[in-house]
Amino acid sequence: MPENHIGKVIHYYDKAMVAVIKLTGALFVGDTVKFNHHNNEFIETVESMEVDRQKIQSAKTGDEVAVKVNQKTHEGADVYKIA
C-alpha cells in the first residue's frame, strides 16, 4: 500500500489517548493512517478529529489536529496516510 507522510505527533495525552498532529498534508475523517515511532507502529482509521475543541471533518497542511487513537503513541511519531 502506498503511504504519504502527512505529519508528526507533537503531543500525546495518554489518559485521553489523543494524539495532536502537526500536518504536512491534508487529513480527513475516515482516512486510514499509520503511526510510526521506532519499533512502535500501528494503523488507525481517523474516526474523529478536532481543532480547538471543535469537531472537524477535514484539515489542511499547517493545522494542528487532535485525533483519538486506540493504541499508545509518542511525541515525534511520524504519521502516514495509507492510500
| Global pTM value | 0.94
Q: Give the span between the Cα atoms of 55 and 7, in whole angstroms.
A: 19
pLDDT for the residue numbered 83: 78
The CATH number for 57's domain is 2.40.30.10
Q: Is the pLDDT at 1 greater than 80, yes or no?
A: no
How many C-beta atoms lie closer than 10 Å to residue 18's C-beta?
Answer: 16
- Full residue range of the structural domain in which residue 53 is found: 3-82
Tell me: the pLDDT tens digits for 41-75? 999 999 999 999 999 999 999 999 999 999 999 99
Contact call for residues 64 and 20 (beta carbons, < 8 A): yes
Quote the number of domains for the chain: 1
What is the rounded average pLDDT for all residues in the chain? 95
> Residue 27 burial (CB < 10 Å; 0-12/13-18/19+)?
buried
What spatial distance separates the first Cα and last Cα of the chain, rounded to whole Å? Answer: 6
